[in-house]
Structure 1
Amino acid sequence: MTTTSESRHTGWQPPEPALSVRQVLTLERVLAGEPEVVAGAGQLDRPVRWVHVAEAADVGVMLSGGEMVLTTGVLLAGDEAKQAEYVRSLHRAEASALVLGLGRAFPAPPEVMRRAAERCGLPMVVLHRPFPFAELTEEVQCRLVRRKFAAVSLSEAVRTALTGLITAGAPLQRLLDEVARHSGCPVVVTNLAHRVLATAGERSAVDDVLRDWERVARQAGGGAGDGWIRAELGGHGERWGRLLLCGHRGDPATGRLLADRAAEALVLHRMLGGGSARTWEEQSAQSLLTDLAEGAVPARQLLPRARAAGLPVNRRTFVPLVVPDADPARLDRVLRVLGLPGLVAELAGPVTAVLLSLARDQHAEALTAHFAARLRTETGAPAAVVAAADPRTDWDDVPAGLREARHVADAVAGSFAPLGPPAVVRLRDVHLRGLVRLLRDDPHVQSFAERELDGLLGEAEPELLDVLRTYLATGRNKSRTALLHHVSRPALYRRLEAIQVRLGVDLDDFEQAASVHIALLAHDAQQG
């Protein structure tokens, strides 16, 4: 989610909003005719698409909607039935307003027409002073033409900007930031299930939109309304998403044009690969879990994004997991097979994070074990390990849980190789190794490791270091070590003797063996 405050001065100006009936009545030339609204006063905010001067009694058949009709009523005088039908025909044609010039046919507002207009909700305005209709049509038409030209210019500016970004290989977020800058409102991309895939716009405004996303999405499902403008995303007869401008305050027609241009660009962006091999769903989950794990954004601020992404968050138990070197698509498939709600994303490392969201009455540890067992079956890798943090019932504790799971995954790397790793590893399982991994970048620890292992680190026979690693990991079990390295016991004794000579230690002494073990753990941690 990105703010657009940095995009302030680009030379672009929004097009003038559509003229409403109310705005037309405030024009200086119209005020000279002393206009009076005699009916439909509650509908004065209707947009005026065009101005049409007509005296024909059947003018309704010539209209296409949105016209302000100007007339003197010369063909209606003396026939009340024609007067009422004239108003009704304008209503059926969805005219925006009727303007009647008094004096030539009607000295006062005709009551029949006024009542008919009131019943239909059609604004009816009378001009008390003679007024050349040509001046009004010229003024309004010029304004409308300028607005249409500005809208076309905006359309081309947006198309050019988005095409340039796509050509440069920009990510989806950069395109959405550009759309939000032009629209001046939050922009949301969803899949067909209303799950939010990406957003752009001023952060607080986006959070307001996402806070009650399910209700908001249903209200906006019908298309435009109250500034909500929707454009479908898809191609070849298949829809796969939606783009929404949320609370667009400009002209609806301009907003719809902007949404259509943005949708065209997003479809092209997806067809060309979008500068990333990951789907938009994967990018959305990655952005959310990365922000959670890094803690740069308070967890409370990320809650609307998680809810809008389809993650259940109310009265849930959250289980942060990290799986080293795992395919996110495979993990997501395991979640779907087991029917477990959660988010999956690849983080830097590379590790894949999984955030399970379980009901409070579900057994978190049992389901985590079930997930890990299924993962081993799916991957065919009996050594696959799931690093798990303790379950969290408070959303604010999730970032710490993700960091804990990542620390466990880092500490467990290679540590169980001789013994065979358990399917699920937790903080309580990594013991000293976990502490050493946390301290591996400390210069004192690095110096200690080099000093303790100096006799082996430059050794031309690296298998001695491997033998030492296995011997200490098995609790100094000589039989087990010999078996794992496929050597006889006498051969192992000779190698252990060589190790002790080079290091100047007695591995039968617990303290000296512990010191060497800690140094070896630190060395392995530093080597990754």
Structure 2
Amino acid sequence: MSERRGSPSTDTDRPEDVAHRPGVLPTVRDVLRMPVMVQGRPEVLTAVESLDRPVRWVHVSDSMGAPDLLDGGELLLSTGAGWADDPDTLAAFVGRLASVPIAGLVLELGARFVTAPPTLVAACRFRGIPLIVLHRVVKFVAVTEAVHGRIIHEQTEALRVRDRLHDLFIGLSLRGSTPDYIVSQLAKVLRAPVVLEDLSHRVVAVETLDAGDEVLVGWESTSRSPQADWLVVPVEARGLRWGYLIALPGEPHTAGREQVMQQAAVALAIGRLADGDADEWTRRGQEQLLGDLLGARFASSAAVTARFEAAGLPIAGRGLIGVAVASATTDLPARLRAFASELGGPAIVAASSAGVTIAAISLPASTLLTDAVVDRAARGLAAGVPEAVVALGAVAQDVAGLLGSIQEAGELLRSTTSERGSGVRVLRVQRRPLLRLVTAFADDPRLQAHSERMLRPLIEYDLDHGGDLLEVLRAYVSFPGNRTKAASAGHLSRSVFYQRIALIEDLLDVDLDDGETVSALHAALLARRG
């Protein structure tokens, strides 16, 4: 991978560097607004566009040898008393000031010059040096006191802020804060969007603040091209680099944006060393992403689409499918990624509760997911595992459809968790038309009202008596017409199961031999989602 330009990873961090950081030092414009300078009626003659240069110090000199005494970044105050009259010598003097370079030149009009020499003005304009003339006399000592006082105050404040931020980020790392939380805190400190990406330019964590996730559109290609207005800091330790912190354009920070970024990068590196697992960041990032999708924690479809694509899951023009897998194996996420690769695309995987792992898989639009293809990939997923259940939702074309597909897969898996078996079982929602119908209308309040109305007596009975009538009914509707198999799925003896069914019929005042009633109850159970 090509090295990012402007990476500060090999820079030496010296305490005195604070004085050179934008946001810590006053600018030429700031100095001109100070009361002591306003009294001199300052007029900017050249390089107005450069008035935001930071002023590192103020130097007072009327000597032509002043450039030899400067280190760069100074605002030079002069009456011009010792300057030469020769235009070429004066132009050469300005050239030497530019080579230092100085922040700006202030000339007090009066005893030596009534107006700024044309040669001086032309040379400063050519060299891009802000030239300011003072139409009234001011005490240069008062100017230096005011500017130096502000510089020292702001440097002291910058050091205090840096100490507070050091405590913040080191505290986060020692408490084991997740990468997404550290990134979120960094973005709030900088008041700018921040992205943590891996070495493949896939987004691991992001905080976009008010900018929205649309800033991630086309992220990989944009990230691979040097961005002049981005601040990029590597996250590394012990000679191993894991990724990059990227801050998008924002306001200057008192402690220096780069310094803040480096402190956050150290916190992330400490956390990364503590995690040990090479896939930990990826796992956490993908769990957060799928959790946000399932919890509808996104502003728009465009925003969540950009987020998925930035994380390495292409959406546009692809076939998207949700998968849920139940198995006792500890390496299920890795197996699921291999399963997706066997089908022909990448996946974003996250483990959920009760030994269930979910995934979003992106496939080329032309992929044909025949039963033979899925079964072969599922056998590879379950190789060496006593039992595994793989549930697949419908193929979708956008993130809204992907959300439904994941929900379908999860519901399909839940509806069979009571069944026992061995080997690998593949469940496809195409074979469950009622489930697909209910999932499509899952958020419709009328469907929710139907579920509550039909199941309320059972819900209240289970709550009052610690009962299992809902689970018994779920087993019954899963095997209509076969009460023996339903009783086995419910882990009950036939006699106890029949007693539960009779109680359900009494509480609901229904006949469970009626097909339409069973279908309505089945839909109500599916809408309840557990």
Q: TM-score, normalised by structure 1?
A: 0.74
Q: 1:58·1:89 contact (CA, 8 Å) conserved in 2?
A: no
Higher deviation after alignment, 346-355 or 138-147: 346-355
C-alpha distance in structure 1 between counterparts of 2:96 and 2:348, whole Å: 57
Q: Could you say if the C-alpha distance between residues 135 and 499 of structure 1 is closer, same or farther in structure 2, counting changes exceeding 3 Å?
A: closer
Q: 1:299·1:396 contact (CA, 8 Å) conserved in 2?
A: no
Q: Give the ranges of 4+ consecutive aligned residues of structure 1 lying more than 4 Å apart after TM superposition.
A: 296-299, 336-339, 429-432, 438-451, 467-473, 498-504, 511-515
Matches within 5 A, 1:36-435: 36-200=43-207, 202=209, 204-211=210-217, 213-214=219-220, 217=223, 221-222=226-227, 225=229, 228-251=230-253, 254-273=256-275, 279-297=280-298, 300=301, 301-325=303-327, 327-336=332-341, 340-363=345-368, 365-366=369-370, 370=373, 373-377=376-380, 379-380=382-383, 381=385, 383-413=387-417, 415=419, 417=421, 422-426=425-429, 428=431
Partner of 1:384, secondary structure, is strand
Tell me by how many angstroms 1:260 deviates.
1.4
Q: Could you say if the C-alpha distance between residues 39 and 298 of structure 1 is closer, same or farther in structure 2, counting changes exceeding 3 Å?
A: closer
Q: 2:412·2:427 contact (CA, 8 Å) conserved in 1?
A: no
C-alpha distance in structure 2 between counterparts of 1:213 and 1:396, whole Å: 21
C-alpha distance in structure 1 between counterparts of 2:486 and 2:496, whole Å: 18
Partner of 2:289, secondary structure, is helix
Gaps of 5+ in 2: 1-21, 439-447, 473-482, 500-510
Tell me by how many angstroms 1:43 deviates.
1.8
Matches within 5 A, 1:467-486: 469=485
Partner of 2:243, secondary structure, is strand
AA of the residue aligned to 2:289: L
Q: 1:59·1:89 contact (CA, 8 Å) conserved in 2?
A: no
AA of the residue aligned to 2:211: A
AA of the residue aligned to 2:380: T
AA of the residue aligned to 2:284: Q
C-alpha distance in structure 1 between counterparts of 2:428 and 2:214, whole Å: 39
AA of the residue aligned to 2:216: L
Tell me by how many angstroms 1:58 deviates.
4.3
Partner of 2:388, secondary structure, is coil
C-alpha distance in structure 2 between counterparts of 1:471 and 1:22, whole Å: 82
Matches within 5 A, 1:19-38: 19-38=26-45
Cα deviation digits, residues 19-39 of structure 1 (max 9, x gap): 221221121111222222222
Q: 1:18·1:147 contact (CA, 8 Å) conserved in 2?
A: yes
Q: Could you say if the C-alpha distance between residues 66 and 376 of structure 1 is closer, same or farther in structure 2, counting changes exceeding 3 Å?
A: farther
C-alpha distance in structure 2 between counterparts of 1:291 and 1:352, whole Å: 16
Q: 1:373·1:423 contact (CA, 8 Å) conserved in 2?
A: no
C-alpha distance in structure 1 between counterparts of 2:176 and 2:468, whole Å: 46
Tell me by how many angstroms 1:17 deviates.
5.6
Q: Could you say if the C-alpha distance between residues 233 and 41 of structure 1 is closer, same or farther in structure 2, counting changes exceeding 3 Å?
A: same
C-alpha distance in structure 2 between counterparts of 1:181 and 1:85, whole Å: 48
C-alpha distance in structure 2 between counterparts of 1:146 and 1:306, whole Å: 45
Cα deviation digits, residues 423-476 of structure 1 (max 9, x gap): 4533525989x99xx99995766989989x99xxxxxxxxxxxx9549989xxx
Number of positions where the alignment pairs a residue of Structure 1 with one of Structure 2: 454
C-alpha distance in structure 1 between counterparts of 2:206 and 2:497, whole Å: 60
C-alpha distance in structure 1 between counterparts of 2:153 and 2:78, whole Å: 25
Partner of 2:275, secondary structure, is coil
Provide the alpha-carbon RMSD of the alignment: 4.1
Q: Could you say if the C-alpha distance between residues 342 and 94 of structure 1 is closer, same or farther in structure 2, counting changes exceeding 3 Å?
A: farther
AA of the residue aligned to 1:331: L
Tell me by how many angstroms 1:232 deviates.
1.3
AA of the residue aligned to 1:330: R
C-alpha distance in structure 1 between counterparts of 2:314 and 2:198, whole Å: 17
Q: Could you say if the C-alpha distance between residues 22 and 503 of structure 1 is closer, same or farther in structure 2, counting changes exceeding 3 Å?
A: closer
Cα deviation digits, residues 395-436 of structure 1 (max 9, x gap): 222222111100111223353727x6544533525989x99x
C-alpha distance in structure 1 between counterparts of 2:348 and 2:111, whole Å: 73
C-alpha distance in structure 1 between counterparts of 2:140 and 2:293, whole Å: 64
Cα deviation digits, residues 33-84 of structure 1 (max 9, x gap): 2222222122222222222223443443443432212223333222322211
Q: Could you say if the C-alpha distance between residues 193 and 502 of structure 1 is closer, same or farther in structure 2, counting changes exceeding 3 Å?
A: closer
C-alpha distance in structure 2 between counterparts of 1:260 and 1:512, whole Å: 66
Q: TM-score, normalised by structure 2?
A: 0.73
Q: 1:65·1:95 contact (CA, 8 Å) conserved in 2?
A: yes
AA of the residue aligned to 2:240: E
C-alpha distance in structure 1 between counterparts of 2:455 and 2:113, whole Å: 96
C-alpha distance in structure 1 between counterparts of 2:512 and 2:172, whole Å: 62
AA of the residue aligned to 2:304: L
Tell me by how many angstroms 1:158 deviates.
0.9
Tell me by how many angstroms 1:356 deviates.
1.4
Cα deviation digits, residues 84-134 of structure 1 (max 9, x gap): 111112222232211122334333211112111111211111223333222
Q: 1:18·1:251 contact (CA, 8 Å) conserved in 2?
A: no
C-alpha distance in structure 2 between counterparts of 1:139 and 1:298, whole Å: 48
Q: Could you say if the C-alpha distance between residues 293 and 372 of structure 1 is closer, same or farther in structure 2, counting changes exceeding 3 Å?
A: farther
C-alpha distance in structure 2 between counterparts of 1:24 and 1:199, whole Å: 38
Percent of aligned pairs with the same amino acid:
28
Q: 1:209·1:216 contact (CA, 8 Å) conserved in 2?
A: no
Tell me by how many angstroms 1:295 deviates.
3.4
